[in-house]
Amino acid sequence: MDESSPAPRKPLLLHRCEQIQLHSHRARLAGKTVGLVATMGALHEGHLSLVEASQHECEVTIVSIFVNPTQFAAHEDLNKYPRTLDSDLEKLSPYQVDAVFAPSAEEMYPPGFSTYIQPPACANRWEGEFRPDHFRGVCTVVLKLFNVTQADVAYFGQKDYQQALVLRRMTEDLNVPVRIQVCPIIRDADGLALSSRNAFLSPEERTQALALSRSLEQAELRVSQGEQDPAVILQLMQTTLQTAGIDQIDYLTLANPETLEPATDLHQPVVAAIACRIGNTRLIDNRLLGQPAAEPPASE
């Protein structure tokens, strides 16, 4: 911060739905726009870039911190997912965030809770094939967050490309008055996309993980040089991953940016996406090829 910036302060911390509803209601009554940054905590510079985007555009910024149990399968890393609320609040203190909503699982899913969102068709590919109930949980919790925060704009990172597409489709289909704003992927200097799960990587595994961004860069280069065969690009990417010792690949794909259907040629823009496992850690990354856009295009 420069000398003219306000002194750091911890944001207002709220745990109950009615508390954040009242906070947002008062802001809306005052004519202020509300931005939401929905997170599961373990904040890093990627999350903080979303906070900055919200503050640039909205008069009130709310950050939610909630490790959502309904988006994890029984065999996944719910119990070991980092929970670092005190550290997260410290990281947010220079940003003058208006409120942090950090509910318990019981607050979001009280006894008798039984209503879930059926995700749109674009949720069935990619993550949907390997994590069948993931987007059911994501859509349900995000819609609840939209309801209690009354946000005008919600900010998500392009790293979770499919999630952004699914949520945008959900808001359009259900007439939810929230604009989904997707912000660029934030990477370390060596190209690794920032992720809370990077903390699980050993130094050797982190070096391996650089193959994800490297394979995407190579794909972008070959497409820019005129390659039009998706099979050639996919083989190039797979070879890059396997050369780094990555052989647990959930999906490696070139797809239509709006429908996620596999690309049959590269005459139109595509999204290249990877999900793989390095040791016990599952990582994802993506890149838009053939277009300068920094976010999933809006569905019409």
Q: Point out the annotated binding site.
A: 40-47, 71, 157-160, 163, 186, 194-197
For residues 184 and 294, the answer to whether their CB atoms sit within 8 Å is yes
Which amino acids are annotated as binding site for ATP, given as ranges?
40-47, 157-160, 186, 194-197
Q: What tokens does 126 get?
A: 């990619």
Q: Which distant-in-sequence residues (6+ apart) come within 8 Å of 225 by Cβ? A: none
Task: State yes or no: is 47 an active-site residue.
Answer: yes
Which amino acids are annotated as binding site for (R)-pantoate, given as ranges?
71, 163
For residues 88 and 65, the answer to whether their CB atoms sit within 8 Å is yes
CA dihedral (104, 108, 113, 114) in degrees, to 10, reads -120
Phi, psi of 107 (to 5 degrees): -70, -40
Q: What is the rounded CA–CA span in Å between residue 170 and residue 28?
A: 23
Q: What is the rounded CA–CA span in Å between residue 184 and residue 186?
A: 6
Q: For the chain, where are the alpha helices, taking DSSP H only?
A: 17-29, 45-57, 85-92, 105-108, 127-130, 134-149, 161-173, 203-224, 230-243
47, 56, 75, 134: the catalytic one is 47
Just list the catalytic residues: 47
